[in-house]
Structure 1
């Protein structure tokens, strides 16, 4: 994939962004684990935005390997289940790092739980420096605390890294008033406020993450990760998405 022209680079709407994707997004058509072609496709999407000169943070969920809430619902102690989910996010982060570096994109996996043999511990100033050097930073292990989701981790790290927006890659091209997969008359919102997301119970992110992004006046852009070139297109001012603002 070739780098974009300088003229295109200047069109990027944001200089530093957070990309949040679910672990399930890495499964492809499988029911579990990592699907290498899907990981490769997402890595190429990230590279296309990186080639625009945009500094990129990422948070990837762990639901394709283990979900803490499901483990807890099946009788496992909640704190233990959540830590297992955090370890799953590290596995996904390492898989994405491998795919990105195969494309020539320097990447750092930064974990909230220290595990020095496989990734860096989270130190804010060091992470900011990585971004300034145009390295993609993948934040793993959530916040390092049980009872908090990777949505909240994405909102927290985006605020700490002074990101200009959070991009949430979904299987649909925005936020709808009902499930568009089951309701053909579902209405997509072009713009919506954080308070409306909460009051309408639209389940874009968990309530803690929504409150954190709202309180830090952080725009949230919900788009389809399955749309080829969608991530780059939005950065260039094109494409279909929903923007959530205060």
Structure 2
């Protein structure tokens, strides 16, 4: 079926691939498999998948390298599969453009819900979060967000953001000075209602600030932590 959801499952363990395939096929998803990063990258570049489940630690080309190279060509949603205790590696995953991670050992049901959340977010993006229209540009002191082109410039310099970093910045900037708690951001930006690690928000905020700071300290300070509540986008008075 041409409209059937395509998911690429990448893991060097046969058992895990079989388990994920079994549960995802129950949802009528079309599943293809890869056992290493090189094979996964080749398949991902040749085929337009709806979601890629990508193991982080694999022999040869690991998930970090594969995701980084994929992001040079495509914005296919990537969910990293990571072992417990690999927090530093998960941060690396976000840095190269992963959309989310799931910690092993995981519940197959959780994986199915996460995949559905990614798909739901993609379908709703045109209507809600990243709806683009001609002239859809948010302009502030130091920062300009061109949503039609998905381009962010800081003091005239374009800033390379991952898809999730962009979504988060755009969502906050659409309502300046409105405070969002982590749960709301996880629900609205990641489209998670039942699962999701709140640290995902903190990691993306940190990376977003660091990238803005490379060009402008004033721009970085526009992403404000409201202690005990969450985050907001604050426009400086000039």
Q: Which structure's relative contact order is higher, taking Cα pairs within 8 Å and 6+ residues apart?
A: 1
Q: Above 0.5 in TM-score?
A: no
- TM value normalised by structure 1: 0.33
Structure of greater Rg? 2
